Every structure is written in structure tokens, then in C-alpha cells.
Structure 1
Amino acid sequence: MSWRMVFVFCLLSLLPPQAVAQEARPAGKSVLLLIPEDTALPAMATLVASLRSSLWEAQDGPITLDVESLDLGWARGPAYTQALHTWYLAKYRERRPDALIAFRSDAIQLALQLRRELWPDIPMVVLSEDERLWEQQPRPEQVAGLWLHYDMRATAELALRLLPGTRRLALVSGSSPWERTQQERMVRELQPLLARRGLEFIDLSNLPLAELLERARTLPDDTTVLTFTFMTDPSGKPFVGREIARMLLSASNRPCFALHETVLGLGFVGGALVSYEAVGQQLGMLTSRVLRGEQEEFLAPLKPAPVDTLKVDARALRRWGIPRDRVPPGVQLAFDEPTLWERYRWWVLGALTISGLQALVAGGLVVERRRRMRAQAELLERQRLEKLAEMEARRTLDQLAHVSRVAALGELTASLAHELNQPLAAILSNAQAARRLLNATPAELDEVREALEDIISDDKRAGEVIHRMRALLKRGEPRQELHSLNDLVREVARLMANDMHLRGATLQLALAPSLPTIQGDGIQLQQVVLNLLINAMDAMTDVPAGQRQLRVHTASPGPGQVELSVQDSGGGIEQSRLALIFEPFYSTKEQGLGMGLSISRSIVEAHGGRLQAENLPGQGALLRCVLPAALTESPP
């Protein structure tokens, strides 16, 4: 006698009579549900919850659902069945339900026996996995039922569609009487498919757990595993089906298919899965119609319950490398959770796009920076070359200016010779006179002293002429110094005084007092004045002697400016040639180089000024030179 039967008898003996024979419940209909397994199992728990919800939705008033778990998968034998029968007779003798529901053929047999003895007139609703349940015995009255089909053939066909290389089908099932009965039925259903496809059948049912797991590890590569339930092994040891499923999936080297929706998600690929939620709904709707007194047609065979659905696990497909395009149309895809790429694809693409744009911007900035650096380097190189060219131009200008000064002084040779001859002749005369005075008796020392002083004065005058000539002839680097424009004009005027006298020209100086100083190279500025005066005297060659008037004027035409103007009394400059006189190598003189005015303009512009020419009707030509005044700090 099993421990469960002993427990039932002990409990019956300890219960008082009022606990066994309970009073009838208050108003409201009640339904008694007999299920074959423990309600803690996921399938049974789902069925009960769905049935209760369906009854409450279909009934107008309150309804009570009492659930009794028979544990038929864990216990067996007539003694246990008799103990259950005795227990429920005692428990429900005074407690009459309005309807009786039984699920699975082994539970249905016990429910029919209880109804015959306790409530022969109440309706009964059954859900049997055996569609020909009533063909084995006379069909009882007031029984409505549905057929719960565990469709192993549809599951096998789905497996072959997903795994077309399958050459062997293995079937896993437990060892309880109910499981063996179902295994035999499923093998009969599979026989036509096995024969048509030429498949080998591997029977993994009715094996000890250790042997089952070991064989699952070493299955051939072309094998597909079909599973049903595993409640007990051949020794009668009970197991929890969900835990056995986990162990099998962990051990099996081949894809496994199932028939129960409650195990989908553990690792099974899929199958024609029975939804126990749908089972509860079907039972609830049928029971509600029976409770309302509606006539239900008792069919033999039973009407199939639409509670199974072809469904596959998307994660298992990925695990076994099964392409999605093999999934037949209409098959549901469960756990089709997007991959990390599918889930974050747009985020990743957006991030990549932004990163790409940032990279493009960064690349553009780098290219732009390099372009700017290259442009800056080219600019620096160009500036360096321009500076070198400018320095070379200045050196060339200095050389040309020096040549021009030499040429100008060459034109003044006669005047300079006369300028030197006068003091030299005076020195000679005074020296001879001093010698005579010293030879006289007595010597006239006072006269000698005066003669010597004249010699010193004439020597200084000759030295100044030579100094001015050397200054103009000297070649050196330009020096930026402060100068008085009036002093520069006077120096040049003294140098050219004798030449003007020889040419019969009269020089008029109109120098403005208190002119601002100018900054620049004194030699170059004197050369400008010299060139302007020589050019003016050359312009008066055709004017009769005595009428050659040369006027030099200085002024301050505006704040920060100093002006020098040189006006001659010649015939002026033709209007067509007015713009050409400053061009290099342009000259109206047969012996001229045409560089004097060009060099003068370059010197003036190098000092930040301007040089221009204009005609004065009936008065000759006027050359005007405007220079910036030197910037001097204001006194505190």
C-alpha cells in the first residue's frame, strides 16, 4: 500500500463527521473539477486559472470552482484508486456540485464512478485525449465532451520542414500507464509518415532517466527528437516534467520538439503546441452552456477542441542555425525578440551617421587646417620672396640712385671745379702774400695773421664743397633720421649755386619757417632736390640768359605734411608727355638717361610721399613733392 493511500485513510479516520459531511453551500452554482496532476504544475495551473476566468465571464451570477488534484501520474494501482474513491465519497456525499468536469481519460473514469454513486443526475463535461472514449463502453447520460488531440504527426511534419536533412525520429516519453498508452497511439500516427519518408524510428520512451540522458547525448547528426511527457520512469519514481525537460534539453545534441505550450521557451524548437489556457476556455464555455440547460450534442467520436497551434521558438531557431525562411506560412514565431542589431539598429545607424558626419566635419576641418597652413606657408613664402624682391628693388634703387647722383654731379663738374678753384686760388694768393710779409724787415706779423686766417677760411670753404660732394657720392645703407627740409634745400642750393650762375639762372628760395621735420635718408632726399633743380635748369635751356628763373618753395599744406615745389620758367611740359616723365628711361634730352625723375619718384614714394608734375600756363612747369611729417612725441 502506497504512502498516499495510507495518508488518505489516516485523514479520514481523524476527521470529525461534520468535516466529512459538510452542509450544502449557500446560493450560487458550484462546479467540481477533477484534474489528473498536481495544480502546481504549470499546465494544470494555467488550465484551472483559465477555466475559472471563463466560468466567471460566462455566468450571470457567482460560481464556485472546486479543484481536486488526483496525482495519477505519480501514484498507480487499484489500491490508490480505491483510496481516492473512498476519500471523495466521504468528502462530497453531502456537497452536491451543479456540474462535474474531468480532464484526461484516467481522471474521467474515476469521475464517472463518483457520479454514479453520488450525483447520477448532474451533468458532466469531459476533455479526453482519446477521441473514441465512448466506443469502449456504453456512453453515460448527460455527458458532453471534447477531444484534446496531442498531434505528434503535425509536430513531426513541422520538424521535417525545418530540418529537411532529418533521417531519424526519436520519441521521448515517460513510463506511467497513461504515458505508455499515449506513446503507442503516437507511434501509430507516425507510422505512415515514417514509411513515406523512409525514416528510422528511435524509441527513447520507458527508459531510466540516466540512460535517456546518455542516449540523448550521442544521437546521430541526422536525428530530430520528439518529446511528450516524462512523469515516471520504469521503476515508478515520479519526476517533475518541467525539470526533466530542462535536463533533456541540456543533454541532447539534437533539436527537440514538444507538444505542450508551457515548455516553449525552455529550448524546444516548437511543435503543434497545446495551449492549456485555451483548454480552460473551451471547458469553461462548454460547462457554462451545460449549466444554462442548453442541449449539447454528445458526439462519438468526440469533437476536437481547437487548442493546439503550430508555433516555433525564434531563439531556438537561431541556436540550431535554422533559417527563418524554412518556417511554413501560418506558423507562429514566439520569442521573436529582436537581436541587439535589430533592437538598436536605428540607434547604431544614427550614431554611425552622427559619427560619420563628425568624422567628415573633423576631416574637413583637418583638410581646411592643412589648406590654411599650406596657404599660410605659401603666404609666408610669398611675403619672404616679396620682401627679398623689395630688398633687391631697394638695393637696385640705391644703386640707380647712386649712379644718378654720380651722373648729376658729373653734370656739375665745371661748376664744382670753379667752386674749388676759387678757394684754392685765394689760398695760394694769401700764402704768397704771407711769405712776402714775413721776408719784410721788420716783418708785418699782423698782416701775416690776417693772411693765415683767410687761408683757413678758404680751406674750410673748399672742404665743405668736397664734403658735400663726398656725401652725395657716398654709397651706403639708407638711414632713417630726422631732417629739416629747408636745410636739405639750402645744402643742395649751395652745391649748385655756381652751376646756376654759369647757366645764367637765378634761384629764388621761399622757405617756410617752422616746418615740421621729416624722417628719412638725408642723402636720398638731397638727391631728390638735386634732381628736381637740375631737371628745372635743363628745362630752361631754350630760355635766354637772364630770364631763367628757378623758384624753390617749401610749405606745410596740411597737418602732418611737408611740401617742396620747384618751378621753372621754361616752356613747360607737353600735355601728352605729362604722364610719361616719371617713367624709367624716358627723357626729352638727347644725352639724358631718363632715370632722374623716375628715381626721384621712387625715393619719394619709399618715404611715404608723392611726386607729381603740372603745367602752369605761361609760367613753365611745376614739380610738387609732398612728404609726411615725422611723428614726434608731444612734450609733457
Structure 2
Amino acid sequence: MPAGTGGVGSKLVGVWPRRGIECCGDIRWLDLNGRWRDLTITGTTIGRRTILVVNDISERKALQRREHRQQEALAHASRLSVMGQIASELAHELGQPLTACQNYLFGIQNRIKTDASVSADIEDALGQATDLIHQARGIVQQAREFIARRHPKAEDVDLGALIDQTLSLLKHQIRSVGARVEVSKDFGEDTNRFVLTCRKVAIQQVIVNLVMNALEALDASERAEKRIRLEMSRPQPQTVTINVRNTGPALPTEIHPQLFDAFVTTKPEGIGMGLMICRTIVESHGGSIRLASSTDGDVCFRITLPEGGETI
């Protein structure tokens, strides 16, 4: 049977010959009802005649595909379960040392306030370290509340101020990559700021993750322009959009559909949890996150959040 032939409304997708037989292989056949059928064809020649035996193996193939999906889902659930146990233990164990570190830093800051010989750079570095530990404690506390199934506490947050604070926390990483960061705020006619009712640490964690991903992409890129742009706008009443753009390389097209799934990553040493966590946080606030564009020089992630909305 020549490849590409078939009855009316049918299409031969592929044949894979085997040695010693005139024709043998598996094909997918589109029947007259528009359904794909999995067939196996075996043929041999006797004299001037060719005998073909066609077996419909659609049910067997469908069963194999279902079993494969079930095995993948089981393995995925197992990894998530292990990750949950590790996260629970980390949240329990990290709380106390982080608190101790923060107390030591507070003590050092109080002591150097009276010492005129201490440079402003040292005071600034201590302040940054204190802010970062405070952020880490907030993330750990958030994890503990989730594990304990306590309803997270939401508060009114000025989104513009939160982004400025987040970029201040990341200024060392931004400087080391040599990136230029721009912030655009299009408030519209309603007010002069964006106010979200949200879990502040959680939304800040999303922004940190996206900016760090952008910095890592720019650091690995050979492009001369290394720029990150955060754009805030109000496309419609009570809705805020945040675009996080960078001038790095495009993301591989084949991973776009799974980009926000667990254990999907483009980084050699990544574990593929960052974007999944971002999606979980954003959706828990009644919002959405997606890859808005992915071309060389313009990679953009778009977050949409309800302004003043309730967290789930």
C-alpha cells in the first residue's frame, strides 16, 4: 500500500517497513466519520498476488496511551508529595534561625548608629540584609500557614510602592548583571496609584521570581542591550495588569504549553517550580498569569489581578 493513499476522506499518516516482509507497519487512518483509527498492516507477495492483513488496534493503543498518562500523573503526584514534606520541614526548621539572624542584625544596626566611623555603605548593606531576611521570614510564614491550612491574611497594598521596594531588594543582582530596569505606571483617570487587597509577601514573591528569571536570561544572553521593563496599567476598572519584559532570548516554543507546570524548566540547574508557584499565587488572588510574548529581544510575562479583590 503506497504511503499517502486511502479511501475517500481518509489519510495515511505513516508506514514503517520491516525486513523480510513486503509490507509491515503501524499507521493512523482517518476514517469517513472523521475518527482516527490505529491499524497494523502486514503484507506479503505470493506469485503475482499481494496479500494484506489489516488489524484494528485502536483500543489497544488508546489503552496504552491512558496507562502512560496515568503513570506520568502518578509520578508527578509522588514528586509533589515529597516536595510538600520537604517544604513542611523547611518551614519548621528555618523560622528560628532566620529570626535569630534578624535579631543579630538589629543589634548591630543599633550599635553602629552611635559610631561615626562606620561608613554609609556598611549601614546600607546591613539594611539590605535585614530587609531580605524579613522577606525570607515572610515566605516561610506563608508556607507554614498553608501547611496548617490557616486562611492567609490579606491587606491593602500599594502595588507601585511594592514594586519599588522589590527592585530595591534586588539592586545587587541587577547591578551584577549590568541590567537597566525601567518602571512604567499608567494609572488612568481614576486615581494616582494601584491598590490591591492581597497577601503582600506572596505578590512580592511573584515579582521577585519573574525579575530574577529575567536577570538570569539576560546574564546568559550575548545581546548588548540588557533591559527589564515593568509596566503597570489599568486596562479596565478594578483590574490591574503587570507586564514584566526583558530583552533576552525567546523561550523554546515546545515548552510554552507546559511553562507553568511543575518541574518544567529551561535552566540547566533549575527544578521548574518558580513559575508554577507564581501561577498558584496569582490564581489564589483571582488573577491570571501568562506568557504574553516570546521573541528574541522581547519576552513578556503578563499578570492580571483584580484591584481590591479578595484572596481565595
Normalized per residue, the structure richer in helix is: 1
Is 1:467–2:134 an aligned residue pair?
A: yes
Is 1:484–2:162 an aligned residue pair?
A: no
Pairing partner for 2:253 from 570, 575, 579: 575
Secondary structure in structure 1 of the residue aligned to 2:243: strand
2:26 equivalent in structure 1? none
Pairing partner for 1:543 from 207, 218, 221: 221
Alignment of 1:467-616 (within 5 A): 467-475=134-142, 476-477=144-145, 478-513=152-187, 514-544=192-222, 547-616=225-294
Distance 2:181 2:291 in 1: 19
Percentage identity across aligned positions?
Answer: 25
Distance 2:126 2:213 in 1: 31
Letter in 1 for 2:297: Q
Distance 2:115 2:172 in 1: 25
CA contact (8 A) 1:504 1:545 kept: no
Distance 2:247 2:135 in 1: 27
Closer/same/farther in 2, CA of residues 457 and 596 from structure 1, 3 Å limit: closer
CA contact (8 A) 2:285 2:309 kept: no
Distance 1:458 1:568 in 2: 27
Closer/same/farther in 2, CA of residues 621 and 461 from structure 1, 3 Å limit: closer
Letter in 2 for 1:608: G
Letter in 2 for 1:492: T
Query: Which runs of 5 or more structure 2 residues have no equivalent in the other structure?
Result: 1-80, 95-104, 146-151
Letter in 2 for 1:534: M
Distance 2:116 2:199 in 1: 43
1:507: Cα distance to partner?
Answer: 1.3
1:629 equivalent in structure 2? 307
1:619 equivalent in structure 2? 297
1:631: Cα distance to partner?
Answer: 5.4
Distance 1:456 1:496 in 2: 17
CA contact (8 A) 1:505 1:545 kept: no
CA contact (8 A) 1:578 1:614 kept: no
Distance 1:538 1:433 in 2: 37
Secondary structure in structure 2 of the residue aligned to 1:482: strand
Closer/same/farther in 2, CA of residues 590 and 509 from structure 1, 3 Å limit: same
Closer/same/farther in 2, CA of residues 472 and 493 from structure 1, 3 Å limit: farther
Q: Greater RCO between the two (CA within 8 Å, min separation 6)?
A: 2
1:396: Cα distance to partner?
Answer: 5.3
1:520: Cα distance to partner?
Answer: 1.8
Rg comparison, structure with higher value: 1
1:492: Cα distance to partner?
Answer: 1.4
CA contact (8 A) 2:293 2:300 kept: yes
Tell me the number of residue pairs that the alignment of Structure 1 and Structure 2 aligns.
Answer: 202
- Coordinate RMSD, CA, aligned: 3.8
1:544: Cα distance to partner?
Answer: 3.5
Letter in 1 for 2:277: I
CA contact (8 A) 1:518 1:630 kept: yes
Distance 1:502 1:538 in 2: 11
CA contact (8 A) 2:235 2:241 kept: yes
Distance 1:606 1:562 in 2: 15
Q: TM-score, normalised by structure 2?
A: 0.55
Closer/same/farther in 2, CA of residues 543 and 598 from structure 1, 3 Å limit: same
Distance 1:552 1:590 in 2: 26
Letter in 2 for 1:629: E
Distance 2:260 2:176 in 1: 28
- What's the CA shift string for 1:336-375, capped at 9, x where partnerless? xxxxxxxxxxxxxxxxxxxxxxxxxxxxxxxxxxxxxxxx
- What's the CA shift string for 1:456-504, capped at 9, x where partnerless? 7776555444434433444443212111221221221111111111122
Distance 1:473 1:492 in 2: 17
- What's the CA shift string for 1:152-201, capped at 9, x where partnerless? xxxxxxxxxxxxxxxxxxxxxxxxxxxxxxxxxxxxxxxxxxxxxxxxxx
Query: Which runs of 5 or more structure 1 residues have no equivalent in the other structure?
Result: 1-392, 407-419, 435-450
Q: TM-score, normalised by structure 1?
A: 0.28
Distance 1:583 1:455 in 2: 41
Normalized per residue, the structure richer in strand is: 2
Which one is further off, 596-605 or 537-546? 537-546
1:431: Cα distance to partner?
Answer: 3.8
- What's the CA shift string for 1:386-405, capped at 9, x where partnerless? xxxxxxx9x959x59x88xx
Distance 1:603 1:613 in 2: 16
Distance 1:495 1:525 in 2: 14
- What's the CA shift string for 1:572-596, capped at 9, x where partnerless? 1222221121111000111101010
- What's the CA shift string for 1:197-252, capped at 9, x where partnerless? xxxxxxxxxxxxxxxxxxxxxxxxxxxxxxxxxxxxxxxxxxxxxxxxxxxxxxxx
Distance 1:458 1:570 in 2: 29
Alignment of 1:236-635 (within 5 A): 399=87, 431=115, 433=117, 460=127, 462-475=129-142, 476-477=144-145, 478-513=152-187, 514-544=192-222, 547-630=225-308
Distance 1:484 1:462 in 2: 23
Secondary structure in structure 2 of the residue aligned to 1:626: strand
Distance 2:295 2:121 in 1: 48
Distance 2:216 2:122 in 1: 36
- What's the CA shift string for 1:263-302, capped at 9, x where partnerless? xxxxxxxxxxxxxxxxxxxxxxxxxxxxxxxxxxxxxxxx
Letter in 1 for 2:246: D
Distance 1:550 1:500 in 2: 10
CA contact (8 A) 1:515 1:556 kept: no
